[in-house]
């Protein structure tokens, strides 16, 4: 599967480059993660880049073990100042090995998927190395709660049309690898670029 932390850092660096020169309107653009804008997602990923297991469990404790409250508190912390300030905060995470506790694919997935949420909100889908797409697709389709990739992919054949990757048996869902990953994670809009007899089934699960 390769070094997932190294992959995540490549994705962080690429996203940082893509964020250069955004207008104020673009920073304020709503993403599919409503009510989060582009700015909210950048702040959220900055929080991820400062996360450690002790910090995570301490934050959960002080948030009454509510994950949503924990995320919201972290978001406020890194969503201060101007747009340039938020971007500067994210810049400090580039190259960081830190991320949420758990399997290493979680960090890669957060950066790749939220990175696409940002890029697609401003009308500029990203490009990702084939190894990153294959590694994340393999991991995501096997996930249980809360991501639910295993349930969403069950009984379907998923086939990427832009990289060498396929998995599963059943009615086919074919499309760009990143779109398949987004669909596996529950973003039904990504299926607009996909074809096959299994698309309707997967859409109903998103």
Task: Report pLDDT for 50.
Answer: 86
CB count in 10 Å sphere of residue 159: 20
Task: Report pLDDT for 61.
Answer: 66
Beta bridge pairs of residue 159: 166, 174
Enumerate residue ranges in the chain where pLDDT < 50.
none
Task: Report pLDDT for 60.
Answer: 63
For the four alpha carbons of 22, 23, 27 and 29, in that order, the dihedral sign comes to negative
45 three-class SS: helix
> Please, are residues 121 and 29 in contact by the beta-carbon 8 Å criterion?
yes
Task: Report pLDDT for 141.
Answer: 97
Task: Report pLDDT for 40.
Answer: 96
Task: Report pLDDT for 2.
Answer: 67
Q: Give the global pTM.
A: 0.92
- Residue spans of the domains in the chain: they are 4-121, 145-205
Roughly how many angstroms between the first and final C-alpha of the chain, as a whole number?
26
| pLDDT digit string, tens, across residues 18-44 | 999 999 999 999 999 999 999 999 999
Task: Report pLDDT for 74.
Answer: 81
The phi and psi torsions of 127 (rounded to 5 degrees) equal: -115, 135
């Amino acid at each position: 599967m390769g070094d997932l932390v190294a992959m995540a850092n490549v994705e962080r660096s690429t996203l940082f480059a893509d964020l250069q020169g955004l207008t104020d309107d673009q920073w304020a653009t709503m993403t599919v993660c409503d009510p989060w804008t582009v700015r909210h997602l950048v702040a959220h990923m900055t929080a991820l880049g400062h996360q450690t297991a002790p910090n995570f469990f301490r934050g959960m404790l002080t948030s009454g073990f509510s994950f949503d409250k924990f995320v919201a508190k972290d978001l406020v912390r890194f969503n201060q100042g101007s747009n340039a300030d938020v971007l500067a905060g994210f810049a400090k995470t580039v190259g960081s090995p830190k991320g949420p506790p758990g399997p290493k694919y979680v960090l890669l997935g957060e950066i790749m998927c939220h990175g696409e949420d940002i890029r697609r909100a401003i009308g500029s889908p990203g490009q990702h190395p084939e190894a990153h797409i294959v590694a994340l697709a393999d991991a995501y389709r096997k996930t249980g709660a809360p991501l639910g990739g295993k349930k969403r992919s069950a009984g379907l054949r998923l086939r990427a049309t832009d990289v060498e990757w396929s998995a599963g048996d059943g009615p086919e869902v074919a499309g760009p690898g990143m779109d398949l990953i987004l669909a596996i994670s529950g973003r039904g809009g990504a299926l607009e670029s996909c074809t096959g007899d299994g698309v309707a089934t997967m859409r109903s699960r998103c």
